[in-house]
Amino acid sequence: MRDTNKEAYDRCLADESANKINLGIGILIGPDGIPLQSHAYYKKLHEMANHLQYDPQRGAYLKPDPAVLESAKQFLLDELCIPEEYRKLCLVNWCEGGGSGALAQAIAFAFGYYKLPKTLMVQKKGWIGYRAHALTRRLKLIETEVDFSDATDGTAHKNLLIAQLVHNRTSKRVTEDQWEALAKSRRRKGSAPVIFDIAYSGFDHARYHQAYLYTVLMASNFFSLRKFLEYGIPCMIAWSPTKTKGTFRGRPGGALVLVCQNKKDYLKKERFLTAVSRANTGFLSVATYALMRTMHDNPAELKADHEKALACIWAAEQRWMKGTEDIPSLRKYFDYSKYAGMFRTLPTKSGSLERLAQNPGYHIHTVDMYNDDIGINITGLPESPNTPYILASLAAEIHTTDK
């Protein structure tokens, strides 16, 4: 199967033109054109990488300090705004491979622990990795509308559901009423668990990052998760630090969080989670442990990194809003009641991907989203004299109505 994200990266890398831009890039780009990176994390990673030699007192494995494990767990539960009454019932397993690794473990746990149909329900036009999971596990992939409007009736509740708080790639918003309707539909007997795929926590509230305290903003972001917990629906969380903390090149692991119903449920799931973890190496890399150590030693700076990410998205939204004042076909994708986050999927004409990449004035690389749609990262748009030309070139390829 194709990896269209990597294809966009490779196309741009192979393009020798001096006038090119990668609007399909998967990381946050600051207004200065430089990717966001966590100085606190990379400082810790560099420090630990210089002390990797074998220690006869500690053995060959990287054994985490219990205090670091606890600090990292609390940092994570704080960010996810898990209510106090659930915290003692949360299992946290650190995984390799960023949020992708955490999601892989969540799916492995779900199909190993529960009796589920061989189906995987996801939102349409989402991350390509969901298709890969369905393909390699021989699961029937069921794609729902982004707002779950077709996932609340019939037997939909029996399917393992992966839900994104911020949709990757369209950035379409799901309202609180829509989350509530979905949660109510899964209160029925025989409902499968829900995996919350959280790679962009807070990104749909980025425009409020200056008006509200960080903790207040994050609490607003996790309304859906709290509603599912309130209704007693089994929840798993696949969390990623990659975009929110600027750790892309270091690739530390993410975390799988299981919110249990009671102590008995906790102990039973803990035993099975140990098996799932061991099946996926069961060991921590120095990259992942460096992140956990940063959570322990310097949590304030990691939270500041997250706030910088929110500020970066808001700055990008402002650039697009300013540049599209007279381009309604693009400006509609910055209506906050419908869209928010770092990505957009644009309905374009046939051949747009190739024409934009070979644009005579400026080579614009985007992601192939199939059916002629293209995917863009809004933070990839620079603040430069070329910006109006780039926007006009995109607008020339947009369909006047969504397909």
Residue 35 in any domain: the answer is: no
pTM: 0.93
Same domain for 19 and 73: no
In whole angstroms, give the CA distance from residue 233 to residue 184.
9
Confidence class of residue 229 from pLDDT cuts 50, 70 and 90? very high
| Residue where a domain stops, chosen among 248, 274, 302 | 302
Confidence class of residue 58 from pLDDT cuts 50, 70 and 90? low
When the pLDDT of each residue in the chain is averaged and rounded to a whole number, the result is: 91
Residue 199 in contact with residue 240, Cβ under 8 Å? yes
Nearest to 81 by CA among 198, 197, 215, 195: 215
Residue 253 pLDDT greater than 50, yes or no: yes
Same domain for 285 and 316: no
The per-residue pLDDT for range 79-127, each reduced to its tens digit, is 999 999 999 999 999 998 888 999 999 999 999 999 999 999 999 988 9
Confidence class of residue 237 from pLDDT cuts 50, 70 and 90? very high
Same domain for 348 and 264: no
At 356 the pLDDT is: 96
Same domain for 379 and 344: yes
Residue 263 pLDDT greater than 90, yes or no: yes
Same domain for 271 and 195: yes
At 236 the pLDDT is: 97
In whole angstroms, give the CA distance from residue 374 to residue 207.
24
Residue 402 in any domain: the answer is: no
Confidence class of residue 49 from pLDDT cuts 50, 70 and 90? confident
Residue 40 in any domain: the answer is: no
More reliable by pLDDT, 62 or 232: 232
Helix (H) or strand (E) holding 22: strand 20-22
At 61 the pLDDT is: 67
Helix 286-297 with 39-49: angle, nearest 10 deg: 120
Same domain for 339 and 201: no
At 59 the pLDDT is: 59
The number of distinct structural domains making up the chain is 2
| Residue where a domain stops, chosen among 271, 302, 333 | 302
Residue 345 in contact with residue 353, Cβ under 8 Å? no
Same domain for 140 and 11: no
Residue 55 pLDDT greater than 70, yes or no: no
Same domain for 232 and 318: no
Residue 147 in any domain: the answer is: yes
Same domain for 224 and 333: no
At 403 the pLDDT is: 47
In whole angstroms, give the CA distance from residue 69 to residue 28.
28
Confidence class of residue 388 from pLDDT cuts 50, 70 and 90? very high
Residue 316 in any domain: the answer is: yes
Same domain for 354 and 295: no
In whole angstroms, give the CA distance from residue 356 to residue 348.
11
- Domain CATH code at residue 245: 3.40.640.10
Residue 90 in contact with residue 263, Cβ under 8 Å? no
The per-residue pLDDT for range 320-335, each reduced to its tens digit, is 999 999 999 999 999 9
Residue 352 in any domain: the answer is: yes
Same domain for 369 and 285: no
In whole angstroms, give the CA distance from residue 340 to residue 204.
5
At 68 the pLDDT is: 95
Q: Cα–chain-centroid distance for residue 249?
A: 16
Confidence class of residue 218 from pLDDT cuts 50, 70 and 90? confident
**DSSP assignment letter at 28:** -
At 56 the pLDDT is: 59
Residue 4 CB neighbour total at 10 angstroms:
19
Measured in degrees and rounded to the nearest 5, phi and psi for residue 117 equal -65, 160
Paired tokens of 305: 């990194």
DSSP string, 388-403: HHHHHHHHTTB-SS--
Residue 33 in any domain: the answer is: no
- Domain CATH code at residue 23: 3.90.1150.10
The per-residue pLDDT for range 175-212, each reduced to its tens digit, is 999 999 999 999 988 899 999 999 999 998 888 888 78
Confidence class of residue 384 from pLDDT cuts 50, 70 and 90? confident
Residue 230 CB neighbour total at 10 angstroms:
11
Measured in degrees and rounded to the nearest 5, phi and psi for residue 257 equal -115, 125
What are the DSSP E strand ranges found in 152-240?
160-164, 194-198, 235-239
Residue 36 in any domain: the answer is: no
Helix 299-323 with 387-395: angle, nearest 10 deg: 70
Confidence class of residue 284 from pLDDT cuts 50, 70 and 90? confident
In whole angstroms, give the CA distance from residue 263 to residue 79.
23
Same domain for 191 and 142: yes
Nearest to 255 by CA among 237, 269, 242, 243: 237
In whole angstroms, give the CA distance from residue 34 to residue 36.
6
Residue 295 pLDDT greater than 50, yes or no: yes
Percent of the chain with pLDDT over 90: 73
Give the mean model confidence (pLDDT) for residues 223-250: 93
**Domain enclosing residue 376, as ranges:** 4-28+311-395
